[in-house]
A and B are shown apart, each in its own frame.
Chain A
Amino acid sequence: MRRNKLHSAIHIFGLAIAFSICILLFLTAYFHLSFDSFHKDKPQLFRTSRHTNSAQGPEMSSQMPLPAAAALRTDIPEVETAIVVNMGMPENLSYEEKNMERVVVRTDPDFFEVFNFPVLIGNGSTALSGLQDIALSETTAKAIFGNSDPIGKELKIGRGEDVEYYTVTAVVKDCPKNSSIRFDAVARTESLPNYAQLQNDWGSNGSSVFIKISKNSEPQKVAMKLEPFVEKYYPDQLAQLRADRPDVKESSELLSLDLTNINDVHFSGERSAPKVLVYALMSLGAFILLIACFNFINLNMANSFKRSRELGVRKTLGAYKGQLFMQLWGEAFLLYFVGFMLGLGLASQLIPVFNAQFGGGIEISALFQPTFLAIMTGVFLLVTLIAGGYPALKLANFSLVGVLKGKISTKRPGALRNSLLVSQFAISSLLICISWIAGQQLDFLREVPIGFEKEQVISIPVGYQQDGRKILARMRNQLVNDPNIVSITGTGGNLGRGLDRVTVRSVVGFDYKQNQVSADWLLADYDFLRTLQIPILKGRDFDPAYATDTINAFVVTESFVKAMGEPDPIGKYFGGEEAGLGNRIIGVIPDFNAYSPSEKAYPIAIHLSASERINYIFLKVKSDNPQMVMEHIAAVWEKLTDNAFFKASFLDENLQAWYEGEIIMTTVFSIASAIAIFLSCLGLFAMSLMVIELRTKEIGIRKVMGASVNCIVGMISIHFLKLVLVSLLIAIPLAWYAMEIWIENYENRISIDPLTFLGVGTVVIVVALFTVSFHTIKAAIVNPVDSLRTE
């Protein structure tokens, strides 16, 4: 091994990089696939969700009404228990002088019996027996009470006048990162602020409902019983949906309740992780591992054959076949092992960075469980056996004299070696194509004009605990004379996604003179258009001088008007049967993208309200130093809100969230393809050396016969070029097909340019030729006298 330092270094280096990337990718995939797998009764646990098929098209929601749990429990005998899990916004927890915002889950008393969240202090089954009982997670308890015993202490939740007192009854282990149910504290459903109003309201959906079916009952049977259940409890909704969609006959197609096993909860529902992506990550990891292993096998085999003379000598000195085999295998084993350990070390160093970058919760310790260990050992043995064992067997069976004379050389490059090289380059080219096209799509999405001002607009999430309207009014007062602030407004929903990680979208559908219109409904406040610098095309902006503006006035986009089919929209009413009752259009603005351009864009209707919650405050800033203005606003905010947490961000940062999925995809694939092509070139580099060494004599003869350096370089390059071309021929159609499918998902999409593939092909070829050229040029300029002096 020491003999061939470059060779070993290439081996170990390549393996280490591949292993570390592989480990990261597999752990990420494992993390997502293992979601909620820690629940003991997981085959029996299901989440219910509503499937509605209205005029706007089918819609799925896992948000259920509160009374559904009790009804499921009583109406369906197979349901052992049904519980409500209400995951709200962070609330303000305080104890003595301490104050913090934490997520409180409201649920039913048997929460800790249905789900496996180990109770550290206290008794799980009685923890929530009192209506004002609360169980805290370990970190929350520590943060509030430090080291003193929290049990029995009284905790204040809420702010200002809406304060409730809870008694701490238990401390629970922090919920694992791979849990769909996330909480810092658990309390009773009855302690919800508007419980009295919600407890019998089937129309207000705000909680998840989980059911646990009895051990021997079949989920399909339960699902069948949900059909009459819907008929019984949703008569009004069904009637309305029937009116909306006279074309649908079956009521189960209009509104149904579906069951999702807790294992699949992570991959279904509104905010789910796409399972395809997880599989894509896994195959990415497998690809990279494959490339590295191919390299390893290829190089090791070639090297062993090169050493045939040494092995021949060993054989004459009396080594047995078995010993030779063990020697070669052992060397492969050692190289692989060192590479693996380095990769493991590298991966564990990279995990924090990786988690921070991609928001995962992966841990290296997940690697040390039987399945992973078995896979790793299997790959380990297989690869080392092929890499070390195969040449050993082959050499051991060759005639001794032949080996000693050096006759056994890999004269022909060998089909195995070539096909491994072709697969490597095919995979690399595939990955390059994918990341290139994904990058093009991302650029394309980013270039879609959004239609409003995003620079120097600050967006402040008001938070659950504050009254947005009051604060907005106070802020207007405070900042009205500030020269740095152009205008202030409030909205119901954020644009993009800010530091509070929340986005909401509500699409409303209605009929206008036989035209069906679906539109995004935006709650705004005065100065909304001025803050976002959206011009008025027709009519006027909202104006405090008109008292009715907060009641039924709407500013709509051009496409909204077009969808209505109304030539003169100003002053027209929509959404009401007769004039005067509906919503009145007061202004028309150009279309803009309030949501990600990757999703379907609806027309937009903007309205004001006197009572609906203002959740975000937008400020248009005009300053050379927006950061300074931000600090000033933070100070004002803290004064106005009694030190509530200031989570403001600039709108252009928020909008990045629109492209998050694409950014992650392009980043991951670019890194992976860079590594793949790097590893492939590493292999090609070593292999070209090998091939050229084997052809030294031929090169010498050809030179004596008058071949120029260019001829020789060309000749060897063409040999590798052929292989690379074959791999491109394999990769490009695959990439084309896969990416066609992928971009189908986008509302705004590029058309795949064949030139892209030409570009990828050129890049791969140039890189490959460059790699090979190191050795070819060296070989070609060698004096043939040296290479022919054999005798």
Chain B
Amino acid sequence: MLLQLKNVFKWVNSGGQRVFLLKDINLTVEEGEFISVMGPSGSGKSTLLNVIGMLDSFDEGEYRFLDEPVHTLKEKHRANLYKQYIGFVFQSYHLLDDLTVQENLEMPLLYKKVGSSERKSLVADTLDRFNIVGKKDLFPAQLSGGQQQLVGVARALISSPKLVLADEPTGNLNSKQGEEIMELFKQLNNEGVTIIQVTHSEKNATYGSRIINLLDGRKI
């Protein structure tokens, strides 16, 4: 078992009323799964992803990640946990405009305090693996959307996470580029990486092994 959410609630107080973003979520993810989270806008998909990614906190319930009780962990410990095991892919790529492809890939390793030579070899491996060696000195603005997302995925995978969280990874791409990224995900999943993706597209959801539908913060 990779992670488990038990009776997770998340809410905000708005105008004296409690608005639930997540309501009684129970979810168990095994290693090697490929899960698609679906639901209309505002149903809490991204919130769920952020909670799983430990970027966001929740108000009630339990969250165990690799048998660590995340909800009781200190901020620093939690940060170490996600730095080590989780990679993120965003809809709008979120690459740093001022850095080259190579530097963008290197960044997460810097924050994991990986040694210089090891960083070099990891970056080189990754460039190779994603076939972007030729683009390593380009800036994100010089790449197409699909290529940027490719770099985004590469960045998420460079520190060999157990879990990749993708928030509408194909949302900004045309259908062909989207397909390529989904194929990539499928391939990664086959290599053993657990993937949770948020998507609007039925077609993309079919790449996954399991679909979770959310409505108003509730799993249906």
Contact = CB atoms under 8 A, between A and B. Distances in A.
Nearest to B92: A791
A790 B55 contact: no
Interface in B32-60: 46, 50, 55-56
B94 A785 contact: no
B200 interface: no
B111 A706 contact: yes
A156 B61 CA distance: 103
A791 B111 contact: no
B112 A706 contact: yes
Contact of A708 (B50, B79, B92): B79
B96 interface: yes
B65 interface: no
Interface residues of B, number: 23
Nearest to B168: A791
Interface stretch (B83-91, B187-195, B203-211): B83-91
Contact of A783 (B56, B83, B94, B108): B56
B108 A785 contact: no
Interface string A671-707: 0000000000000000000000000011011101111
Nearest to B159: A706
B111 A707 contact: yes
Contact of A785 (B56, B107, B112, B155): B56
B97 interface: yes
A711 B94 contact: no
B130 to A, nearest CB: 17
Given A702-B107, A783-B55, A788 B79 contact: no
B82 interface: yes
B26 to A, nearest CB: 22
B96 A701 contact: yes
A711 B50 contact: no
A67 B137 CA distance: 91
Given A701-B96, A783-B56, A785-B56, A706 B82 contact: yes
Nearest to B47: A785
Q: How large is the interface on A (under 10, 10 to 19, 20 to 34, 35 or more residues)?
A: 10 to 19
Interface in B1-54: 46, 50
A789 B90 CA distance: 10
Interface in B84-129: 88, 90-92, 94-98, 107-108, 111-112
Contacts of A708: 76, 79, 111
Contacts of A90: none
B89 to A, nearest CB: 11
Contact of A705 (B91, B92, B108): B108
Nearest to B80: A706
B39 to A, nearest CB: 16
A791 B79 contact: no
A702 B50 contact: no
Interface string A575-599: 0000000000000000000000000
A402 to B, nearest CB: 13
A360 interface: no
B173 to A, nearest CB: 13
A701 B103 CA distance: 14
Contact of A706 (B46, B50, B83): B83
Contacts of B56: 783, 785
Given A706-B79, A783-B55, A784-B55, A790 B92 contact: yes
Which of A711, A788, A789, A790 has the largest count of B CB atoms less than 10 A from its CB? Answer: A788
A394 interface: no
Interface in B146-184: 155, 171
A702 B56 CA distance: 16
A698 B83 contact: no
Which of A700, A706, A784 has the largest count of B CB atoms less than 10 A from its CB? Answer: A706
A411 interface: yes
A785 B50 contact: yes
Nearest to B112: A706
Contacts of A701: 94-96
Contacts of A707: 111
Given A411-B97, A711-B111, A784-B55, A704 B88 contact: yes
Contacts of A790: 92
Contacts of B155: 705
A703 B112 CA distance: 12
A705 B97 contact: no
A704 B56 CA distance: 11
B132 to A, nearest CB: 18
Interface string A766-787: 0000000000000000011100
A704 B94 CA distance: 10
26 contacts: A698-B98, A700-B94, A701-B96, A702-B96, A704-B55, A705-B107, A705-B108, A705-B155, A706-B79, A706-B82, A706-B108, A706-B111, A706-B112, A707-B111, A708-B111, A711-B111, A783-B55, A783-B56, A784-B55, A785-B50, A785-B55, A785-B56, A788-B90, A788-B94, A789-B46, A791-B91
Given A702-B107, A708-B76, A790-B92, 12 more contacts: A698-B98, A702-B111, A705-B88, A705-B107, A706-B82, A707-B111, A708-B79, A708-B111, A783-B55, A785-B55, A785-B56, A791-B171
